[in-house]
């Protein structure tokens, strides 16, 4: 959520119309160094495929989470001790399928089930006056 806020602040300060879309998933992946001449650390696994679909099908200026991520966040919130910095709500996506800004369609099964958009008691973006 803070990343969406930071991009919105940055764009507003520059006077440009820029927004990000975020997709978050929870799961396992594997990483390792690849290459000989120009070595790089690379991540592998289904998690990355799901992440790409989650990001590309999120709404502009919003954070979309997978079912697995939503369940893990709710578990952590239940176990949280102390005052929570903000209140989160999850709104299930109602569309029949996920759609990218370029029109590509993805079934919810590709990302482990119905996704949700995160809402907070704190604003994500500045509203235009």
- Record the pTM: 0.85
Query: How much is the pLDDT for 123?
Result: 86
DSSP 9: H
> From CA 37, how far away is CA 114, in angstroms rounded?
42
Low-confidence ranges of the chain (pLDDT < 70): 127-129
């Amino acid at each position: 959520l803070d990343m969406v806020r930071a991009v919105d602040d940055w764009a507003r300060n520059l006077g440009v119309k820029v927004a990000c879309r975020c997709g978050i998933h929870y799961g396992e992946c594997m990483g390792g160094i690849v290459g000989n001449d120009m070595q790089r650390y690379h991540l592998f696994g289904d998690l990355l495929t799901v992440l790409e679909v989650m990001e590309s099908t999120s709404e502009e200026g919003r954070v979309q989470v997978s079912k697995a991520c939503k369940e893990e966040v709710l578990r952590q919130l239940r176990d949280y001790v102390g005052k929570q910095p903000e209140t989160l709500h999850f709104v299930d996506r109602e569309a029949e399928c996920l759609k990218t800004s370029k029109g590509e369609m993805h079934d919810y099964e590709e990302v482990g089930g119905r996704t949700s958009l995160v809402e907070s008691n704190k604003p994500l973006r500045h509203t235009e006056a």
